[in-house]
A = this chain, B = another copy of it.
Amino acid sequence: MPSSGLEREGGRVGIREVAEAAGVSTTTVSHALSGRGKVSAATADRVRTVAELLGYEPNRLASALRNRRSGVLGFVSDEIATTPFAGRIVLGAQEAASSAGMTLMVVNTGRDPVVEARQIEVLRAQQVDALLYATMFHRITPAPRGFASGPVVMVNSSDPDGRSASIVPDERRIGREATALLLEAGHRRIVHLTIDEAVPAVEGRSAGHREAMVGAGLEPVVVAVEGPGDAAAGRRAMVRALAAHPDLTAVFVFNDPMSMGVYQDAFHRGRSVPGDLSVVSVDDLELISAQLLPGLTTFELPHYEMGSWAVEQAVNLIGEPGRAASSVSARCRLVRRGSVARPRD
């Protein structure tokens, strides 16, 4: 920050210039600045002052080359532009990396295996110390091939054979807790609106729902429509649900876009949320959940936390080859807005 005017006396100032100006060797400068070797407090101080005065800034490339450690984490994501999910993961990763003195190098694969391979190669060439492999939707997918130079941790996806560290949302728990919320509000005629894809998010939430219903002595009813899980799917699901169960009072919806469709259907029928229909959802896409009227009560997917956990994990694993790779399910926070109430009857 201080612009002493002394900076850059005819060229970039490196450790050598500092050494010269302080009247010591480069070794001493290195030691003084890193605090590693033994340097007298006096010289250390002088070196630091001189360095600051000269506006010295270490060249991390040079030290990376020497240390065989770049201080850079490779972040590969399958998709970055469609939802704010990617941003939340990146942000979490970003901030954790920053606290660990590391930086993120971000690449995107667009879910193309060829691009993925090429991008991982780029990251490897940049000597990244670890690889974060993030997917925007919870999936089970093999860990990326071709990165052997350090730990790999998967974010929002997991390895079929659980060999890589990974963190995913606890889907089943979401299902249980969402249903419990409705149950506690006094609902009995609850239906779960979802899509029929064989992915962990669908299966987990559904399983959790069934579990909670059965636990309450109720018959679970699940309406699964063809995906993708958007507002149109939500409308279709609602139509089918009401056809079969005209007296339902609450729905647990797979995700926020579908919930938006549920609201649309309710409006068209002149039924009010939450007066005539309570809804709990999953995602907390604020663009939807906070803008809907009434606000949507929904479980936040823990993208930020998954990103930061993954970085912490990766950082701990760097340099410890055989460390146990832990796989974690993250609990999801409920964001209460206005879409759940006691049933009328």
- A residues whose Cβ falls under 8 Å from a Cβ of B: 1, 57-62, 64-65, 70, 72, 75, 80-84, 86-88, 90-91, 94-95, 98, 103-108, 117, 119, 121-127, 230-231, 235, 257, 260-261, 264, 267, 285-288, 290-293, 304
Contact = CB atoms under 8 A, between A and B. Distances in A.
A155 to B, nearest CB: 15
Per assembly, the copies of the chain total 2
Nearest to A264: B293
A125 B60 contact: yes
Given A61-B65, A257-B291, A291-B257, A108 B126 contact: no
A150 B88 CA distance: 29
Contacts of A62: 65
11 contacts: A60-B127, A62-B65, A81-B304, A82-B84, A82-B87, A84-B86, A86-B87, A87-B87, A94-B106, A98-B107, A287-B287
A83 B121 contact: no
Nearest to A68: B12
Q: Which 8 A-B pairs have the closest CB atoms?
A: A231-B291, A81-B87, A80-B87, A81-B91, A106-B106, A60-B125, A81-B88, A287-B287
Contact of A285 (B70, B117, B264, B287): B287
A60 B126 contact: yes
A122 B103 contact: yes
A44 B92 CA distance: 46
A106 B104 contact: yes
B103 A59 contact: no
Contact of A59 (B80, B108, B125, B290): B125
A180 B242 CA distance: 43
A318 to B, nearest CB: 16
Which of the listed residues A94, A121, A124 has the most CB atoms from chain B within 10 Å of its own CB?
Answer: A94
A9 to B, nearest CB: 15
A291 B126 contact: no
Given A72-B126, A104-B106, A257-B287, A83 B84 contact: yes
